Amino acid sequence: MESLNALLQGMGLMHLGAGQAIMLLVSLLLLWLAIAKKFEPLLLLPIGFGGLLSNIPEAGMALTALESLLAHHDAGQLAVIAAKLNCAPDVHAIKEALALALPSVQNQMENLSVDMGYTPGVLALFYKVAIGSGVAPLVIFMGVGAMTDFGPLLANPRTLLLGAAAQFGIFATVLGALTLNYFGLISFTLPQAAAIGIIGGADGPTAIYLSGKLAPELLGAIAVAAYSYMALVPLIQPPIMKALTSETERKIRMVQLRTVSKREKILFPVVL
């Protein structure tokens, strides 16, 4: 029985937390939508796969060296970190102190954790090199910009108003997050609310970049939320369109827009 108990305790599933279980289900849902339903596979497939890797129990692939130290709950090591931060030697107090600490102090604690024998996971290293440095969002911006066709906008400039109106979603989302905080339902700071608000602009790269700067702890949730709802637009839009338009309006045939020359498409972003 002792051997069987040791085997069970050594299995990752025995250490599966509620949050990890929920995120694993969300990741599997994203993979199913990407593969089976063909909803934005270029977006949802890597997000779902990354979510699976990040939430494998006991793997620690998305943990920094300091987070790995805190996860092991070694009293002696926690005492060393707590002494440096002038806080109580428990995980909750240390996390609160780190949240208020300067980036230089956080880096010192990370280096101290490495000296104690802990190493960051591969996904944590990728985050530091790609997301934390701001390189990946900029590369995504370049790719999105290269793929964007400004032809319809140049042929009918009035559609610019639709894009401008979409930005009101940012303010609505920020106010929504602050309202939840005001009523004590979910606690969000102003930087966190601002990072969440960018989701309202339906702009994935901007949401990733800004959350990485203002609320790194919410980056994963914001990225999944932003790209998931953008990928599900084909499911979200039809009932809204039916509610806001009549059947006659939906039967209006759109006229063919004028042909936009390649020179116009090149000069437009350059002039901007």
In sequence order, what are the residues at sequence separation of 6 or more whose Cβ sits closer than 8 angstroms to the Cβ of residue 190? 178
Kindly state whether residue 241 falls inside one of the protein's structural domains.
yes
Kindly state whether residue 138 falls inside one of the protein's structural domains.
yes
Kindly state whether residue 8 falls inside one of the protein's structural domains.
no
Query: Is residue 149 located within the same domain as residue 36?
Result: no
Domain that holds residue 90: 66-120
Kindly state whether residue 201 falls inside one of the protein's structural domains.
yes
- For each of the chain's 272 residues, which pLDDT tens digit applies? 666 566 555 565 666 788 888 989 989 998 998 899 888 788 888 888 988 988 888 778 888 898 888 888 788 888 999 888 889 888 888 888 888 888 888 889 999 999 998 989 888 888 888 887 878 878 877 887 777 888 888 888 888 887 777 788 888 889 999 999 888 888 888 889 988 888 877 677 788 888 888 888 888 888 888 877 777 777 888 898 899 889 888 888 877 778 888 888 888 888 87
Query: Is residue 219 located within the same domain as residue 139?
Result: yes
Provide long-range contacts, Cβ within 8 A and 24+ apart, for 121-126.
121/59, 121/60, 121/61, 121/62, 121/63, 121/64, 121/68, 122/61, 123/50, 123/53, 123/54, 123/61, 123/62, 124/61, 124/62, 124/63, 124/64, 124/67
- Confidence (pLDDT) at 3: 65
In sequence order, what are the residues at sequence separation of 6 or more whose Cβ sits closer than 8 angstroms to the Cβ of residue 89? 75, 78, 79, 81, 82, 83
Query: Is residue 139 located within the same domain as residue 261?
Result: yes
Kindly state whether residue 1 falls inside one of the protein's structural domains.
no
Query: Is residue 116 located within the same domain as residue 239?
Result: no
- Confidence (pLDDT) at 225: 83
- A 10 A CB-CB count for 251 gives 8
How close are the terminal C-alpha atoms of the chain, in Å? 72
Query: Is residue 116 located within the same domain as residue 181?
Result: no
Kindly state whether residue 127 falls inside one of the protein's structural domains.
no
Query: Is residue 95 located within the same domain as residue 208?
Result: no
Query: Is residue 197 located within the same domain as residue 96?
Result: no
Last residue of a domain, one of 97, 120, 143: 120
The count of structural domains within the chain is 3
Buried b (16+ CB within 10 A) or exposed e, 123-142: bbebbeeebbeeebbeeeee
Kindly state whether residue 12 falls inside one of the protein's structural domains.
no
- pTM of the predicted structure, to 2 decimals: 0.71
Query: Is residue 199 located within the same domain as residue 70?
Result: no
Query: Is residue 25 located within the same domain as residue 94?
Result: no
Query: Is residue 221 located within the same domain as residue 264?
Result: yes
Residue 227 near residue 44, CB atoms below 8 Å: yes
Query: Is residue 73 located within the same domain as residue 54?
Result: no
Query: Is residue 152 located within the same domain as residue 229?
Result: yes
- Confidence (pLDDT) at 2: 65
Encoded tokens for 153: 């906008």
In sequence order, what are the residues at sequence separation of 6 or more whose Cβ sits closer than 8 angstroms to the Cβ of residue 187? 181
Kindly state whether residue 4 falls inside one of the protein's structural domains.
no
CA 57 to chain centre: 20
